[in-house]
Amino acid sequence: MNIDNLFFGENYHSSFALLIDKRIRNREWFTYTDIMAEYLGPKYENELARGISNCKGYRELLKTFLEIKKVIKKKHGIGCFEESGTNRDKHFLYVGTDDDPIADMRNAKVVNNLKKYWKFCQDSAGFFPQSWLDYYFQDCKDLLEIKEKKKKGEQVISVSIDRIHKNIEYLPFLYESIVNKIVLEIDYKPYDEEQVTLLFHPHYLKEYNGRWHLFGHAEGHEPENGYDLALDRIQSRPREKDKMVFEMAPAMYYEHYFEDMVGVSHLDNRIIDDIVIRAHSSYIFNLLKTKPLHRHQDVKKEFGEYEDGVYGEFIVHVEVNNEFIGRILQMGAGLEIMAPREARDLLSERVRELADLYYTKKRISSNY
């Protein structure tokens, strides 16, 4: 084991080194069992009960602590550790004068990780909207290197949707307004409505399906929090309103706001329930299993043959909104909402309206 690389990598040595280093800096008594217990976690309590020497990584743990002691002894001399107990239950306590004796080794890992992160930022430039890059990397050599990589075809991460949308250049400004708690005056034009000027307290930015939305408090409008502005419907650059008290959303508001939702929209008569969805083919079932509609999704019935047919079922705790309905319709006849009745009826109505366009109204003319 190379002492210089003790903290590097994702191996036993680096993990044990971090755990031991924490106890050294806290000046805590500890045993090998303490370190191994924290490393393995509670689900391996039975393995630890049979004896630490039976645990995978035990020899690496002994070697790691031995090397740390050698480094500290070399830098600070002998007598930096007190020991008590027998060999089978040895306790250690760091008593040296330096409160952080192996800081240089740990910081070398931090610097190494920052270099990795910097490289990721360069390689993943295709994932971020161009306005983010232009704003946060302006006057920076990194931006030139990012553009040069793209020009040479060396960019290795991208997204599947074109993110060049109207007003996307406002993203950095809106982000800064949220962070700095600045009230904005925004000229906004909803669909099929007159343009309005809003006094807006921005709280949250969310992207869905390539489109960005700004959520916050719009004075005089409902809901009190969670008022949704689509960026492409903002009519001009938002203006900062000085000397206005910023109204924040309650703690954890937006974490709960989006908890049971696909996308960003609410229906007036919203249904939030355990939705039972049936997949009528093995392909659709496995597709939904590997790419869930929502994080609150579980398998109700594995795909197989039952008395009433061949299918598999999922149960999803979610709000039935336009985005959720769209995801169901995307699968065509492969998916069917079984329950509750209100959700099934809502989807049936959408399917009936769609069918009317293609069959009942006979819109196709001789001009096509």
Over 60: is that where the pLDDT of 59 sits? Answer: yes
Query: For the whole prediction, is pTM greater than 0.75?
Result: no
Whole-number pLDDT of residue 168: 83
Q: What's the rounded Cα separation, in Å, for the pair 195 and 187? A: 7
**Structural tokens at position 137:** 């990397």
What integer pLDDT is reported at residue 167 of this predicted model? 87
* Nearest-angstrom CA–CA distance, 166 and 229: 13
Residue 126 has pLDDT above 70, yes or no: no
Name which of 96, 93, 73 is nearest 83 in CA terms.
93
In the predicted model, what is the mean pLDDT of residues 231-246? 92
Percent of the chain scoring above 90 in pLDDT? 40
- Contact, 197 vs 239, CB < 8 A? no
Rounded to the nearest integer, the mean pLDDT of the chain is 83
CA-to-CA distance for 124 and 142, rounded, in angstroms?
12
| Widest pairwise Cα distance in the chain | 96
Looking at per-residue pLDDT, the higher value among 301 and 107 belongs to: 301
Average pLDDT for residues 313-331, to the nearest whole number? 92
The pLDDT value recorded for residue 265 is: 85
CATH number assigned to the domain covering 272-360:
3.30.70
CA distance 93 to 82: 5
Q: Extract the tokens encoding 119.
A: 């490289």
* 40-49, 56-65, 175-184, 245-254: segment of lowest average pLDDT: 40-49
- Is the pLDDT reported for residue 172 higher than 90? no
Range with lowest mean pLDDT among 190-194, 202-206, 280-284: 190-194
**Count of other CB atoms within 10 angstroms of residue 332:** 9
138-174 b/e with 16+ CB inside 10 Å = b?
eeeeebeebeebeeeeebeeeeeeebebebbbbbbbb
